[in-house]
Amino acid sequence: MITIQGHTFHLQAGDISYAFTVDKAARNLYWGGAIGGEDLPKLAVEGFHSSFDPDTNAERGEYPVWNGHDFTLPCLKVQGTQRVHFLTYQSHELEKDGKTERLTLRFDSAAFTLALVYQLYPNGIIGRNSVITAKEPIQLEKAFSASVNLPCYQECEVRYAVGKWARENQLQQHPMSTGILTLQAKRGIPGPQYNPWVALCEKDAGETHGRVWFAALAYSGNWAMHIEKTEQGNTHIVAGVNDFDFAWALQPQQSYTTPVLYIGFSQDGYGAMSHLMHSFVREHILPPRGLRRVLYNSWEATAFDVRVEEQKRLAQKAAQIGCELFVVDDGWFGQRHSDKAGLGDWYVNREKFPNGLSDLIRYVKSLGMDFGIWVEPEAVNPDSDLYRTHPQWAYHIPGVEPMQARNQLSLNITLPEVQAYLKGMLGKLLRENDITFLKWDMNRPLTDMDSPELWSKHVQALYSLWAWLHQEFPHVELETCSGGGGRVELGSLAYAYQSWPSDNTDPYDRLFIQEGYTQLYPVDTMMCWVTESGEGRAPRSLDYRFCSAMCGGLGIGANLSKFTQEELEVCTRWIAQYKRWRPIIQQGVLYRLLSPIQGDMTAVQYVSQDRHEAVVFAFLRGQTYGTLRPPLRLQGLDADAEYAVNGTVYSGKTLCNAGISLALRRDFQSAALYIEKV
């Protein structure tokens, strides 16, 4: 519900309140647990005053604009900003769409108008963004989505995810001290270095307790989040498109719309934060779809040596163990025998597939599986027919040799002729073949941009391609991938059904990656593969590998031709079990019971929405001194109900308060429990 009293606006939904007042600019009053609207006028706090800080409330701006008395990080900076601070409030509009409310505030200046948009969702998540419309020619130097303020003088810690290739989504947490913490991407993709979300919490907040304020950006390109704690003790988050190498020119009546920053608040720690975001993403971000299929991907079995007969042999074994989707990865097209050639030539290699893809697809369908394929439309090899014919289609700076990465260049997908080529290629591929799944990869950063506007235009062009795919081929599901987890964020999830979190499929390493991933993103978007046990590591049993991969959307990436009959039977048993548990895992509520960061034991639990069923996966990394571990306490069950666990009946309160003992004794041992209300 959005209530308006004079110039005070109060957004209430779920258990949150978000309030601000508007005079010349918009100033935040409160963000946190629900409060009464009658108390809002009492919440204004007089700030520190000096000749260097003449506006005592400037630090709490909803959208700071540079060149006024607000010296915190601005959201908006326009070239030649001498008139920008004369920004005046004009009006507001309130719209309702079902249970969602939308508030738009309008401000005016001599050179442009500014609209601040607030989208209020039923569970208390708020989407914020801005629209700048020119009245005369202007050049934007910075145009962030929003600034959000914590309660005045709140001491807090900050949590975020860092990483690199094969080590994505590693949680990091520390006290927020005076100064500016910057999380950002400037490679043209969201990147694995940081993920575009941040959480600020009370000191000592944990998985199940403590207040948490959080923000997540929906954007698939260069982004930045600045967390600033001022010398006065106020903390705020400024987030949006990265202003590094950013510029955007607007002519009169042209507008620039920033991506949406989603913000939320939890009274009960990081677990409740995840519950809020998981339900929100499923209901309001993801395309409509059903349960994730168990897939087999042939990349690790064959790499670039993709040939129809070997693919058929793998498909037969994949169907035998219960897979539902067979995916051919890199190597099926052009002269693609290594990563040095072929990208951009999206025609079927007739040496590898003499009868085209249709022969393999018919065989896969006869086995009861659907068919999917890998593409990397944003890239081109210099050694390709496409580049030899259209070298100007790659991003390049005139007179400078473009930079290669992984032996490839990036296509300038902002060019209409490149968009037409890609739509023609994808359209032909999908119309001529019964394909229901695309794995869309991106294996290098963007470089050689000869205009700062290209960074943003690339993302707009990408979204345009994905929107076209959905419109023309609504039956085709999209998975995003970028050298592993380099494209995991809410912007891509608006088009993709799932994401590839990491090229690292080691089942123990994945526990850390998956914990970081699920802080904000739902389990059913997180693909997890069973692969062969890595060389140079302590062996991970097939049971352990399956338990780790069943924590998300299950996939098989191992070379099944090397599996013994006994191993294939183990695969068959686990996949059948996963299919029975799949609605609980993919659509239930996730509880992270024990973190891999905090010890040798890791445990996660999934509870069905009606609390009738639950699944628990537990993992022991290593055993020392024969240490006995305390019972595992569960969460989310009906305290007054009874539940059967492996044939023994317990009350819900016993399972949650006393816990259940697990017989884990060996290094890299796992357990899976099914819990059912009786």
CA distance 538 to 540: 6
DSSP string, 563-628: --HHHHHHHHHHHHHHHHHHHHHHHSEEEEEE-GGGSSEEEEEEE-TTSSEEEEEEEE----TT--
User: For strand 26-33 and strand 16-22, is the pairing parallel, antiparallel, or unpaired?
Assistant: antiparallel
pLDDT of residue 626: 77
**Residue pointed to by tokens 């910057």:** 182
pLDDT of residue 47: 61
CA distance 504 to 618: 20
Burial 538-548 (b: 16+ CB within 10 A, else e): eebbbbbbbbb
Sign of CA dihedral 445, 478, 422, 334: positive
pLDDT of residue 415: 99
Helix boundaries (H) for 211-305: 269-280, 299-302
Give the chain's residues under pLDDT 50.
none
According to CATH, what is the number of the domain 295-586? 3.20.20.70
Which two tokens mark 438?
């695309």
Domain boundaries, the chain: 2-285, 295-586, 594-677
Catalytic residue among 503, 509, 543, 667: 503
* 441 among known catalytic residues: yes
pLDDT of residue 59: 80
pLDDT of residue 132: 98
pLDDT of residue 475: 97
Is domain 594-677 classified as CATH 2.60.40.1180? Answer: yes
* 2-285 topology per CATH: Beta-galactosidase; Chain A, domain 5 (2.70.98)
- Mean per-residue pLDDT over the chain, rounded: 95
CA distance 558 to 562: 9
Which two tokens mark 314?
């793998």
pLDDT of residue 85: 59
pLDDT of residue 43: 78
CA distance 34 to 39: 11
pLDDT of residue 302: 97
* 55 among known catalytic residues: no
